[in-house]
Amino acid sequence: MWAFIYQPLLYCYIALGMMAPAKHTSFAFHPIHVSTTNVEYNKQDNKLEVICTIFTDDFEVALAKQFRTKTDLTRADMHKAMDELVKKYISANLQIKTDGAPANLSYLGFEINKEATDVYLESAKIPAVKKVGVNVSLLHNQFDDQINIVHIIVGGVRKSEKLDYPDKKVEQVF
């Protein structure tokens, strides 16, 4: 489930951002707006395991814009309220189908991972999959240069696709 290992592009930008001066704007920190969505079919559990990784500062702005409320994903005292916002946002901006049928995803939670937020989801048990479709519009409400990278792993085979705004659909056959 630790699919963040497969996210070298995002973590490269995070590492470069750490070298930026302490006072910076969002654009100086990471001039590219990117998220990754990892969808992996766990054959042992017969479930899809999903991790969305999004720059925390961008995610907070998108959440605040969509829900018209103050956001801070890093504050422990706001975690419960942020959990609800993250759950609603992800549910509205990420849909997955397996073999043409919608996958019922359960929200497991989120955690801060350096400069990014990892959001965890999993499906109910499903039979082995041959085709996975992902509709992802993360941060489309915030940036018109958003890039969403989607990695889909089934049976140890990984297929990836880069979606430039406004593109949001990818389908892979295994």
Cβ-based neighbour number of residue 19 at 10 Å: 6
Domain-embedded: residue 23:
no
Which pLDDT tens digit goes with each residue over 18-59?
434 333 334 445 678 999 999 999 999 999 999 999 999 999
Q: What pLDDT is attached to residue 68? A: 95
Number of structural domains found in the chain? 1
Residue 31 has a pLDDT of 77
pLDDT of 29: 59
Residue 76 included in any domain? yes
Q: Is 148 within 8 Å of 35 (Cβ atoms)?
A: yes
Asked if residue 114 belongs to a domain, the reply is: yes
pLDDT score at 30: 65
Classify 9 as helix, strand or coil.
helix
pLDDT string in tens for the chain (174-residue length): 434 444 544 444 444 444 343 333 344 456 789 999 999 999 999 999 999 999 999 999 999 999 999 999 999 999 999 999 999 999 999 999 999 999 999 999 999 998 999 999 999 999 999 999 999 999 999 999 999 999 999 999 999 999 999 999 999 999
* Parent domain of 98: 3-15+35-173
Provide CB contacts within 8 A for 163, sequence distance 6+. Answer: 136, 147, 148, 149, 150, 169, 170
In a domain, 123, yes or no: yes
* Residue 28 lies inside a defined structural domain of this protein: no
Cβ(10)–Cβ(33) under 8 Å?
no
Which pLDDT does position 164 carry in this prediction?
A: 97
